[in-house]
Each structure stands twice: as structure tokens, then as C-alpha cells.
Structure 1
């Protein structure tokens, strides 16, 4: 069944990110209908949204045809979730106080569906007592509020109030939709949008009673209090795998490096920073039936991180850094006394992908290596992107998959995991 979102876009500078949010939701198979406030049309157009949603875009409470059919009531109830992104201080205030003076706020007052508000505003507006009071009222009324990010504002100020990245919003929307009862899905009809692809997804009970351990994201290895060694891993693939395992009924422990992603529903998350912290958390989480080591752990760390910021001395010579190898988490699990029944590693490679993965399989003592090509300039490669092309390398050979969205890769991998566990003796 298609999952459906009613997206209300209010008039902040971050409204332009709503276009990428729609694209991200459609890639996940989620249908979107969009509503624009009058001020939002100063930043995005109904035409651009209509092209991306493949549906009518709504902006007028007094559209005669729609209102003859009580259109604002129907719109407010023909989706499993209502999302306000960006949610300005103005629309949050109206929501908190029950004001309905345009189509967007009337829909919000008329809906009987869950509501997710994603605030975006100037840092001083965010911290203002009136805004915080309105947010407290909305939370008390059951509205889910997604925390804004810290960062530089369009106005030049820095602080909390930036709209979260569209991928993080899409992940939170998907998490909330995952709790919608199946009968509610069947009862609704939006009239357009894509069907959620079901091929490759594991049955909801296929990992029931199993413990799945997943690592995700990068590690940060400190050089001094302000600098660190890391890589470009976003954590998206690991979080998608954790979400898919939880949806298949598993008890999931997710050990996450420093990433800004919401915790998937039903997942126990442990945040770490360094490779040594990640190894300790992984060992503490054992025993597990399956361990899927997706994290891109930094291979090296400084032998002695400086307690104070390292300063340039004017000579032009680089600061002397002594590097030592970090612990190999996958190899440690491969020889561990509580080795998981199924041990899966990831290999991010830039050349001779399959050959390097085969060598890693033997060296680490893993059952499978999921190899992917991360070559390409920053921002265009798998690391940080939304799609992935992988090869599953095992003692039986190499299984190549086409390019897929990362959530589809996760669903397909968890289906393969469930099949492997059902075929092996406990």
C-alpha cells in the first residue's frame, strides 16, 4: 500500500529545501501532496512542486470546486501524516493557538492524523520565550516536533534554527509512517503517487527473536580539541539497515559514530566518537545473532592527541603527527569468543572493488563482505549520497546488485540475512 504525506510548506527561506524533501520521499515510495502558504510562494512555485509531486498543489482555501466538496476537510484526512516543513515561528504560533486563517492552518485544525512540525527560523526567534511556549503547547497536544540544526543562518547569524537536511526529515517521516496500522493504509486513497516497492523487503516477523548488531557512520579521531581524523561517511546506509532489521522483528542495537540522523523506530542506539569507543560498545552488545559492520572506521589515530590546540609556528613545516593503527572491529568479531552466527562487513573501495573485498573476506574472518565503489569527487559518490551499488562477496562467489536507493539495499540485505539464518542451525 502507498504511504501518503500531506506536506505543508510555510514561508521561510528554507522553503526551497522542500523540493529536495519531496524528491527524497518519492524515492522512498511515499506519495506527497503539497500545500503552500501565501508567503511560501515567494520561495517555491506551485509549478515546481507539482512537477515533483505529480499532483495538484493547493494554496487557496476558497477554491470553489474543492470547497463545494469540503475540500479542506478531505485534504486534511487523506494522508497518514501531515508534515509542516519548514515550520516558521508564525505558523507554529497559529498551530499552538488554534488559528485557522488560511488553507494551511485550516487543514492543521481539521486533521485527525499525526502531525510532524519541522521548525526553521532565526536563532533568536527559536530561543524566544513565545516560540518555546508555543512548542511546549504543541508537544503537549501531541504534535511531533523535530529539533532544528545548529549552523550558519541566511541572515549571517549562527546557532540553532536551521532546517534539518531533507534526508534527515525524510527518515523521520518514514519512521513515523512505519507505525501506521495496515488497515489505515488500506482505508485511504490519495489518487496519485507511487506504490511503495515491496520486492526485497523481509517479512515483518522474519527476524523475530533475533538480535542484530549494526555499526554506522564515521569515527572521529582527535588530533587536538578542535581537529580530528575522519572520513565522509554519512551513516545513511547503516541507519537504513538498522531500520529494516527492526521492521523485520529483530531486536536491534545500533552503534553510531558522529552523525545527524534520527534513530529508527524500535532501535536501541549507542552513540560513540572514536574507533576504540565503537569497539567497546560492540563488544558490550554481544552476543548477537547477526553483526553488520557498516561503519567507516578511521584506520588510524594520533598516538597522543594534544590537550591544547596545535598552533602554527610560522616555519611552514607541518605539525608532527605520529599515527597508530586503530583496532580492527570486524576482524576482532571474526575471532571473538561470542562471534555472531552471521558476520557481515562493508568494504568502501575506489578500485578493483571485488578483488579487495575477497581479500578482506579471508583476512577478517567474515561471512559476507558488502563491497561498494566510493570513487568520485566529494558530494557525488556513495558516501553521503542516497543510492548505492553493491556486490555481496562470500565463499560462494560474488552477487552483484543494481544501483538502488539505500533503503532498498537495506531491505534486500535484511531479507538475505533472514533467509541465511533460517537455513542455518541455531
Structure 2
């Protein structure tokens, strides 16, 4: 009997130890990539721009009203929020989602942007495009110019709203993730897309328009703060979502996703759990140049700012740094000057670079003053001596 008890107790201890070594089941499950309904999807870290997940991420697809992210950011950057905008005839009665604009009605650009992003107003999109670009084709040209600037290499816009009008209006999950990250760095855009309810004017009516944001992620996911819903018969359900936790923002894109809300939540959970942000370079960090550089006494190379990057734990060993200098001699008199860069690599790919500036040691009492400082020192010595003799 005692032997049985001893064996049973030993088995319990053994199993307990195995559980400790195995770690929490939830932590193990977090390392697996999410299973999604979306045909195309991407997850991006907003600050760094790193794509953390991609499913058919470079496949050209229809994007429906996710198009309006580009419409909004171009309008914010090129227009003035308090501009009085007159609704043109071609904007009235545009098919699909609407905020029921009337011909010649006047609203501010800011009000139209809320109508565009919260209620996905296609009439607002045409009104904004005409105001900013002079015409829909003119504004579309601006949209494509901005896409090229952001690095959206597989994207082409033919309208400001995303309605299915041709096979030439397309993008990819990764390109749209880049666009979301770019737009979310703009404080005006962030404020608009994170708003759940907004009242805007309604000319000729006794009440204002009340806009309820169509993006249910703002209510369903902790920390959600954007971005845009989308749907057409050909594109199916599309969603751009974002969330911020502990100061860090991630954004997702799902295209042709029958379960887009859950897809987006899975992607955000995956990103927050598996890609913690690591500080790879500190602000004001002393750097020793690798190339032959003459460093005069009292002069130092320091980083102008910190550099942080989302990394999985297994990736940290692949991080390397390289110093690139633009000056061969560094003197204390060059204090504050930009003289090079500290480049950060993951394997062979550069993921960022930090400016290097000169910092000089503070002069000590034993160090002779020079130039202007010497002049004022001699001046005050004479004045002080005269006063003392008086």
C-alpha cells in the first residue's frame, strides 16, 4: 500500500514538472500563424512599416471602399479642413453608400471626410475628389502619385470610392497595409477613423446628419482605433483594421473575407503576441566607427535618436549593425554636426538607420578657453581686477 502511494505521488510530481517545462498552452499556441477566411491578408507594424504576416499579400485584388483610405489621406494633405466645399452635380445620387448630399449643398472638407470614412459615402468621395483634384480623373492621378510615393508597387486607382467599374482598379493586401500605416501616422486621419459617432451639418434640414461608424472593430476589439470597411458584389467583404496597445499600433488588411471581423482580431492578437518591439539602438549611444576615422580628443560619435523594431525572439541573433561615415576626421568643434549613419540589418536586409552626430566633452577648468570664450574671460578678468583695486 505504501509502495502504491509512493508511486502515485511520484507520478504526480513527474507530471507537474513536465507541465512546468512545457510552458503555458496559450503561449505555445500564440506562435502558430492564424487560420483565416480571407483570400488575401496582411498585418503591419505601423511605426516601423514591417509586414508581420501575409497571405497572398502581393496578389492583385479588388479593394472596394478601402480605396477611401487613399482618398482621405490625399485630401487631408492637399486640402484645408475648414474649406467650404460645394457639392457638384456629378456627386449627387452616386450608387452605393451615401450620406445623401444635395446639389450645391455646402459642407466643410472635414465634414465630408467624416462622411467618407464613417459612412463610406460615395457621394462624399466624388465631392472631395472634385474639390481637391478639379475633377475625378485629376484626383485619381493624385491618388496614383501618392501610391507610388508610399511604395505601393502593385496598385492602380481609377476612382475615389472603390466601386467596381473596371479591372484596372486594384491593389494588394500588402500595398493596402502600407497605405494604412502611412495614413495612421497622420493625426487628423487617426482622429477621424477612430471616431464612433459624429454629427455634421445638413443644409436645409432641421437636424444634423448623425454618422455612425460602420467599423464594428471599434466595439469588438480592445484598443481598436480604425480604419475602414468595404464591400462590393465583386470584391466581397474587405476590411482595414487597426489597434493600439501599450503605445504600439498594428494594422490589418483582409480582402474577400467571409469572416472579416474574426480574421482581423486573429491577426492583431498574433502580432501583439509574437512580435514585441525591441530597442536595438539607444538615443545618445556612443558608437565606435569601424572604418579608419581620426577621433580627436574630446570628440565622440553618438546616435541622434533611438531605433526600435518588432522582432520574434529567434530573429534577434540575425541583427547586425554597420557604421557609415561621411567624415574622416572628427573634432570637438564639429559638435552637433551630422557625420554618418548607424545602419541596422536583419541578415542582409537593412531595416533602418540612425543619424550619427558629434558630441564634445564639456570644457573643464584646466582646459584653456579659445575664441569668443577667451575674449569674454579676459574682459571680465580686467573688470573684476579694476573693481578690486577701486
Q: Could you say which TM-score interval applies, normalised by the shorter chain?
A: under 0.3
Q: Tell me the TM-score normalized by structure 2.
A: 0.25
Q: Tell me the TM-score normalized by structure 1.
A: 0.24
Q: Which has the higher contact order (CA 8 A, sep 6+)?
A: 2
